[in-house]
Amino acid sequence: MKKILGKPSETNKKLISLIERTKINNFYLKNRKDFRDQILNDINPKDKVLDIGMAMRKKHEKIICSKLETLDVNDYGSYPDIICDICSDITDLENKYDKIICIAILEHVYDPFKAVSNLKKMLKDGGKIYGNVPYLYHYHAPQDLKFQDYFRFSKDALAYLFKDFSNVELYPVRGRISSSLHMMFAGRWKNYMEKTNINIFLDKLSSNEKNLKQCSGFHFIVNK
C-alpha cells in the first residue's frame, strides 16, 4: 500500500496555478529597447524611489520623483545612501517606497526568498518592484568576492518567488538561440551581434511560448 505524506497533490495544484498566472511578454525580444527606460516612464514625480545596486546609476539624473535613495551591501564612499543587507533586518525601511529598482541583485543575495519578503515590506500598498535576474547566464562575481553569485531563476522559480504579489510580469532577455550563443561568446556577442540586431532576427526564429522560457534571464515587474 502506498504511503502519502502530507498533501502533495494539492501543493502541486497551487504551484501550477502560480506558474500559469505568471505571463511572459516577448516585447524586448522583438524591440531593441532598454528596460530601464520603461522604469523611467513609470515613475511619477510624487514617488519615493529606492534603487538597489548600481545597474541604474547612469539613469539617475533622468529619474523625476519626490525622493530617490540608493542602497547597497557595500560602502563605495559617496554611494550608497543606505548600507544594508536586504536579507536581514529592514524595519526602518518598511512601508516607505512607491517604487523599488532591483536590477541584477537577487542572484547575488544568499537568501532571495527573505530578500523578496523584505522588499515587499519596504513597498507602500500598490507599490511596484522593477528588476532583472539571470537564468542561462555565466558566473559573474568579482574576484575579490565583494559580492557573490548564488542563484539562477527560471520562470517557475520566479512564479514561486513572487507568489505573495498581486501581479507578476516577465520579459525574457534574449531568446533560446541568442542566449546559447551569448553563453559561448559572451562579450564578443554582446558588443557586435546585439549592436547589429542579429540577435533580434535569431530570437524571432524561436519565439514560441516554450522557447521564451529558455533565455539569458528575465526583466520583471511585480505589484504589491
Tell me the domain boundaries of the chain.
22-174+214-223
Q: What is the pLDDT of residue 72?
A: 95
> In the β-sheet with 48-52, what is the strand arrangement from edge to edge?
23-24, 167-173, 217-223, 123-134, 97-103, 48-52, 67-72, 82-83
The model's pLDDT over 121-171, given as tens digits with 9 standing for 90+, comes to 999 999 999 999 999 999 999 999 999 999 999 999 999 999 999 999 999
Q: What topology is assigned to 22-174+214-223 in CATH?
A: Rossmann fold (3.40.50)
201 pLDDT above the threshold of 80: no
Check the CA dihedral 221-70-54-141 and report its sign.
negative
Q: What is the pLDDT of residue 4?
A: 81
pLDDT, mean over the chain: 89
63 pLDDT above the threshold of 90: yes
32 pLDDT above the threshold of 80: no
End-to-end distance of the chain based on CA atoms, in angstroms?
45
Least confident of 24-28, 89-93, 138-142, 161-165: 24-28
Beta strands in 38-194 (DSSP E): 48-52, 67-72, 82-83, 97-103, 123-134, 167-173
β-pair partners for 72? 83
pTM above 0.95, yes or no: no
- Residue 15 banded pLDDT, cuts 50, 70, 90: very high
- Residue 210 banded pLDDT, cuts 50, 70, 90: low
95-111 in b/e burial notation, b at 16+ Cβ within 10 A? ebbbbbbbbbbbbbbee
